[in-house]
Amino acid sequence: MSDQQQLWEKYAACWSADPALRRAALGAVAVDDVSYRDPGTEVAGLAELDAYMNGFAGAFPGHSFRIDEVFDHHGRSLARWTQVGADGGAFMAGVSSAVHRDGLLADVTGFFLPA
């Protein structure tokens, strides 16, 4: 498994992590001034991303993300992912791209794919 695959898998786990542990886990995969955006939001910094992830966990209890495939080159990566429901079934699919800095995610953009 590539370093980028591992990084994305650790990042994906942050979305469903225990809120008391999420910030530390997120700090291990993203820079302090990380930027994140998806069709519904744009946040800056670990604190805002942590809060957004907390809102996701509240809106989708028991859901998690599975990283299906990662492509990377020149300090950038693209991850294809599946949002998995509490029942273990696929709920949504998407892709996220990232710019990396110091081996961590620095600028992440998520796209939701149509069903």
| Residue 95 and residue 113 in contact, taking contact as beta carbons nearer than 8 Å | yes
Q: Which CATH architecture has domain 3-112?
A: Roll (3.10)
At residue 115, the pLDDT reads 66
Spatial separation of the C-alpha atoms in residues 14 and 16, rounded to whole Å: 5
**Mean pLDDT for the stretch of residues 24-33:** 98
Q: Kindly report whether the global pTM for this prediction surpasses the value 0.85.
A: yes
For 31-69, write each residue's pLDDT tens digit: 999 999 999 999 999 999 999 999 999 999 999 999 999
Q: How many CB atoms lie within 10 A of CB 104?
A: 16
| Residue 81 and residue 94 in contact, taking contact as beta carbons nearer than 8 Å | yes
